[in-house]
Homo-oligomer: A and B are copies of this chain.
Amino acid sequence: MGQAEADQAAGAPAGPLSAELLHRMHGYWRAANYLSVGQIYLRANPLLERRLTRADIKPRLLGHWGTTPGLNLLYVHLNRLIVEQDVDMIAVIGPGHGGPGLVAQTYLEGSYTERYPAIERSRGGMERLFRQFSWPGGIPSHVAPETPGSIHEGGELGYALAHAYGAAFDNPDLVVACVIGDGEAETGALAASWHSNKFLNPASDGAVLPILHLNGFKIANPTVLARIPEDELASLMRGYGYEPFFVSGDDPMIVHQHLAATLDTVMHRIRAIQHHARSGTEPSVRPIWPMIVLRTPKGWTGPKIVDGKPVEGTWRAHQVPIADFEDSEHLVQLETWLRSYRPEELFDGNGKFLAEFASLAPTGHRRMGSNPHANGGELMLPLTLPDFRAHAVAVATPGCVKAAATATLGGYLRDVMALNLATANFRLFGPDETASNRLQAVYDVTGKTWMAETRPDDTDLSTDGRVMEVLSEHLCQGWLEGYLLTGRHGLFSCYEAFVHIVDSMVNQHAKWLKTTRSIPWRRPIASLNYLLTSHVWRQDHNGSSHQDPGFLDHVANKTADVARIYLPPDANCLLSVADHCLRSRGYINVIVAGKQPERQWLGIDAAVRHCTIGAGIWEWASDDGDPEVVLACAGDVPTLETLAAAMLLRDYVPDIRIRVVNVVDLMVLQPQKAHPHGLDDRAFDAMFTTDRPVIFAFHGFPSLIHRLAYARAGHHNFHVRGYKGEGTTTTPFDMVVMNDLDRYRLALDAIERVPRLKDRVPAETARYWAMMERHKLYVAEEGDDLPEVRDWQWAR
């Protein structure tokens, strides 16, 4: 301890830390800060054993210093809590730009070297640690999948607190510390996430400790929450249902004591809340959980002034505070900065962290970088799955019976829920739409999680329910991600159009999954499963704003390692697909299925066979021999229209030879080299032909089919119909008419493309327009679909 510092420590206000512990913790913090600055700047001379030269400095300086010292401070203090109270804790680091800090911390505690043996705890290892950071072929600049102990990539801001809650659900012994940057706090997703405490049960779930870190600045601006009066901020936190504790300062010794005391207090509150809730005599009520507001300078302990401009405590500390080493003054300044941490007091001559400080870290799985919850695949138990065949709809002949696909699935999900109640590792997520999406059978075995007030008329609410309903797609997604990343399972059912709200979150999760494929120590986690329903074609109550199938395009852009899209045409196919998805690992599975009663096509055995291949000729709907035209379809409504078109065509042209092909797994359309599900060319060509017109009726935007199938030999014959952006509040049949996806249009499309029928085109076109005229008159007059459309029955 330097004299000045000793004086400071001695003069610091009384607190829980003895002078000796304070000295050691401060040293630990200095070590982490030193290693953080080293990562940003140095390629050599890691222990500053000689004067710094330009050759020691990386050619490209990339990274973020500003948030890092605050994260390092918190990590050191959370470590103390873990050790003193034997806490099972992970940290979710919202300001993921502070990558160097988390890498430094996991290196100091030993977790890093266990995951990456080449990064030894020695001079050489330290040099490699520094050099790899933001170095080509090295590690990314952010907290990332590569970072031990992380379940959260900190690049895109907004999701830290939702991830933290997702991790805490059903993990009663876990405490999730969640650091929220004041920049992140301005985002929509984060602003909504505070209310997650209305959905966390102190008896059966773990605790989340939000730590709002006000360092005052974003990239180039002050932050809103740092620039409102403290009583307003306190009021905001109380309004969110938390008891805020403030820790502020720029004197390390004072902040150390204050933060330590505050952490003791909040941990005591958390334990008291849990003890009370778990003592079991009283009904669960929502507690007021503690949270911390930590206000410290941005870029704390970094250079105060560079080139005459203030840096520490300003937005200028955001990335690399000193750059441009053409200026030799800067070199001196950097060396001074690095030496200010006095590395020689912290590391021995071989670069080993001195035991005096190193012994502060927790050990084994208590180290946050080694906590198995943050590598959820290590803990994941497979779901116990019921026999989905028991839920099958009996289909004596195709089209003979109607069923609502998602309601059928609801029965299956009820059994999934029931079979996994004991392990408490399956939840259903939805933005207030579970019943609207016809999955309400799950309420037979569990309720909807609700810790806010209840009233006598409420139905299916429960403090320990396993259905998560909140009107925020961001929260559903973020909670589920956190739940999966800590080794559990789930399904997110959402209105198809509004799942676009989480497009960007899907990107980030897909990137995470892709990256973890090449990180050996990351164990596979359960897939992120979407059930998209209340889809574009059946938005009876709503109309245009609720009609958009473009999420499929979004997911199709994700890497083939990760993206899976299924469009089961009926209830039995939906059962087969859903069962498959719940067993799969590491994918983003998108299932689209309608919720209205519709005709059913395949018995359960046929459905399983069909879904296993992913696409197939429906022989029972096709004519023998070489087809003149292929009617292809993907999606429940397009399948209905296609089969109706086949009937019309046989009526118009009795000797026509039609083949009906149904596609369940959209990725079969891609070449095998582009996607593992891609059909090989021979099978594809045999199915779709290479020389016959293919009238493809698709659930989504037609261009997606072209984009997936463009390299196929017969692609030039593909004529795709789908959603083209037309729609309003109207009848089901009018919706398909507006988008040229209706049976009459499909039939005319076919006639136009079969060469021998060329002469009939004028007459059939006239018939088509007469039909459309009748349709328009009827719906305008009656406000409902034509009876023959409403009551249409398949016949062969």
Contact = CB atoms under 8 A, between A and B. Distances in A.
A772 interface: no
A153 B545 contact: yes
Contact of A236 (B63, B223, B239, B514): B239
Contacts of A546: 155-156
A550 interface: yes
B62 A729 contact: yes
Contacts of A62: 540-541, 729
A507 to B, nearest CB: 5
Q: State the oligomeric state as a number of copies.
A: 2
A264 interface: no
Interface in A447-497: 448, 450, 452-455, 457-458, 461, 469-475, 497
A236 B191 CA distance: 12
B183 A188 contact: no
Do most interface residues of chain A lie in helix, strand or loop, or is the interface mixed? loop
Contacts of A233: 239
B239 A558 contact: no
Interface stretch (A71-79, A129-137, A170-178, A610-618): A129-137
B239 A224 contact: no
Given A187-B472, A239-B232, A507-B550, A43 B783 contact: yes
A514 B237 contact: no
A198 to B, nearest CB: 5
A564 B540 CA distance: 31
Contacts of A498: 156, 504
A514 B780 contact: no
Contacts of A59: 782-784
Q: Which of A236, A455, A469 has the most CB of B within 10 A?
A: A236
A189 interface: yes
Nearest to A432: B218
A734 B136 contact: yes
Given A155-B546, A319-B541, A545-B153, A141 B729 contact: yes
A500 B497 contact: no
Q: Which of A432, A497, A550 has the most CB of B within 10 A?
A: A432
Nearest to A185: B471
A8 interface: no
Nearest to A723: B557
Interface residues of A, number: 127
Q: Which of A157, A219, A224, A730 has the most CB of B within 10 A?
A: A224
A80 interface: no
A240 interface: yes
A352 to B, nearest CB: 26
Contacts of A136: 730-731, 734, 779-780, 783
Contacts of A131: 783
A471 B223 contact: yes
A368 interface: no
Contacts of A195: 186, 191, 224
A141 B503 contact: no
A544 interface: yes
Interface of A: 43, 58-60, 62-64, 96, 131, 134-142, 144, 153-158, 183-184, 186-192, 194-195, 198, 218-224, 227-229, 232-241, 310, 314, 319, 432-436, 448, 450, 452-455, 457-458, 461, 469-475, 497-498, 500-501, 503-504, 507-508, 511, 514-515, 540-546, 548, 550, 553-554, 556-559, 701, 703-704, 706-707, 710, 715, 724-725, 728-731, 734, 776, 779-780, 782-784
Given A187-B473, A187-B474, A227-B452, 6 more contacts: A142-B543, A156-B546, A158-B501, A187-B471, A232-B239, A707-B710
